[in-house]
């Protein structure tokens, strides 16, 4: 294994076999690329900005401390942009934990003034990315060294690369209630056997199972194994939404991706003074 630091990013490669690797941008601590034997496992928009001017469109952006747009009923995070600030600020590379693991850190000192003013809590985030032979383990520690408790959402907004989303299903969410963000309605139970994709899909499953699978027919493409992350978001923008996003390319690229995102988003988690919290996901690619 080798870890190489660049000015704006860090890359971990498996031994001399550089065909299996992960690349993380310091901006947002966003995983940009995860390759196994040369095959890219994540979708990244060709029009995504990678220069720190806006959040990366693709890979694994981190959502913290709020999910979605301001709701108007949560003053502590309502001044923050959609999906919070973690994905659109530059993290500090803390270094290597071992030859296949790196850590990034973020605290109030890393925030631009306007964001620090909008969310003035004391906090420490430690993001750990570990590359294994066929999987990627990503883990976030949230610490509250301050005197005041704070609320937070967190989400690993993973854009999986798939051959054709219309042939893909997400298994493990069968018959669960979900909030349909497209219809803005709670759906009591789902008659579909597995989640399928033939239109814009934007669902929040509260208290979802720890393990879900992304499948193509009977073949499992990815297993997503979450710890201490009770919700799952499933998203594909489809034709019109992709068209509307200036950083989405190619426009029909939504056929080659699906977001299956593990997190705590249906409700805010609360972190008391001096408390800490950890959530992690193991993404396993079946190749
Ligand atoms: O365009 P953004 O801010 O990256 O968000 C992308 C999508 O992220 C998903 O997590 C949300 O459920 C969607 O509603 C949202 O459209």
| Distance in Å, CA 15 to ligand 1 centroid | 36
Do residues 168 and 221 make contact, with C-beta atoms less than 8 angstroms apart? Answer: yes
Q: Tell me the catalytic residues.
A: 157, 261
| Distance in Å, CA 112 to ligand 1 centroid | 23
- For 205, the domain range is 2-285
Predicted TM-score (pTM) of this structure: 0.98
pLDDT at 17: 63
To the question of whether residue 57 is assigned a binding role by annotation, the answer is: yes
Q: Other CB atoms closer than 10 Å to residue 164's CB: what's the count?
A: 10
| Distance in Å, CA 6 to ligand 1 centroid | 29
Tally of helices (H runs) and strands (E runs) in the chain:
2, 22
| Distance in Å, CA 177 to ligand 1 centroid | 20
Q: What pLDDT digit, counting tens, does each position of 26-69 carry?
A: 999 999 999 999 999 999 999 999 999 999 999 999 999 999 99
Least confident of 5-19, 49-63, 219-233: 5-19
- The percentage of residues in the chain with a pLDDT greater than 90, rounded to a whole number, is 95
Average pLDDT of 270-278? 98
pLDDT at 241: 98
Ligand 1: residues whose CB is within 6 Å?
82-83, 157, 181, 202, 233, 235, 261
The CATH number assigned to the domain holding 69 equals 2.70.98.10
Q: Any residues with CB less than 8 A from the CB of 12 and at least 6 apart, and which?
A: 1, 2, 3, 21, 22, 100, 101, 102, 129, 131
The residue whose CA is least distant from atom 12 of ligand 1 is 202
pLDDT at 190: 66
Q: What average pLDDT does the chain have?
A: 96
Atom of ligand 1 nearest to the CA of 155: 10
The residue whose CA is least distant from atom 13 of ligand 1 is 202
Nearest-angstrom CA–CA distance, 43 and 32: 9
To the question of whether residue 82 is assigned a binding role by annotation, the answer is: yes
Domain count across the chain:
1
- The percentage of residues in the chain with a pLDDT greater than 70, rounded to a whole number, is 98
pLDDT at 223: 98
Number of residues assigned to the chain? 287
Query: Has residue 267 got a pLDDT over 90?
Result: yes
Of 277, 259, 281, 260, nearest to 268 by C-alpha is 277
ipTM above 0.90, yes or no: yes
If you search the block for the tokens 């879900």, which residue do you land on? 212
The residue whose CA is least distant from atom 9 of ligand 1 is 235
Query: Has residue 250 got a pLDDT over 80?
Result: yes
Q: What pLDDT digit, counting tens, does each position of 70-95 carry?
A: 999 999 999 999 999 999 999 999 99
């Amino acid at each position: 294994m080798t870890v190489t630091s660049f000015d704006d990013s860090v890359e971990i490669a498996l031994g001399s076999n550089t065909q299996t690797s992960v690349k993380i941008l310091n901006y947002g601590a966003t995983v940009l690329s995860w390759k196994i034997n040369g095959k890219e496992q994540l979708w990244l928009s060709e029009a995504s900005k990678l220069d720190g001017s806006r959040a990366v469109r693709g890979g694994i952006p981190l959502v913290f401390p709020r999910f979605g747009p301001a709701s108007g009923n949560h003053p502590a995070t309502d001044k923050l942009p959609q999906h919070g600030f973690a994905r659109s600020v530059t993290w500090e590379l803390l270094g290597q934990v071992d030859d296949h693991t790196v850590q990034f850190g973020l605290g109030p000192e890393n925030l631009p003034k306007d964001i620090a003013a909008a969310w003035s809590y004391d906090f420490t985030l430690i993001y750990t990315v570990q590359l294994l032979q066929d999987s990627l383990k990503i883990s976030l520690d949230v610490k509250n060294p301050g005197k005041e408790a704070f609320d937070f959402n967190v989400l690993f907004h993973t854009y999986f690369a798939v051959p054709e989303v219309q042939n893909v299903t997400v298994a493990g969410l069968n018959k669960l209630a979900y909030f349909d963000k497209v219809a803005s309605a709670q759906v009591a139970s789902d008659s579909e056997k597995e989640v399928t994709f033939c239109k814009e899909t934007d669902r929040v499953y509260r208290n979802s199972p720890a393990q879900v699978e992304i499948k193509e027919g009977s073949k499992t493409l990815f297993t997503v194994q979450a710890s201490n992350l009770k919700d799952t978001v499933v998203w594909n923008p489809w034709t019109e939404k992709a068209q509307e996003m200036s950083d989405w390319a190619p426009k029909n690229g939504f056929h080659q991706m699906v977001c299956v995102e593990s997190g705590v988003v249906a409700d805010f988690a609360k972190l008391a003074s001096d408390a800490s919290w950890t959530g992690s996901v193991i993404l396993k690619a079946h190749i």
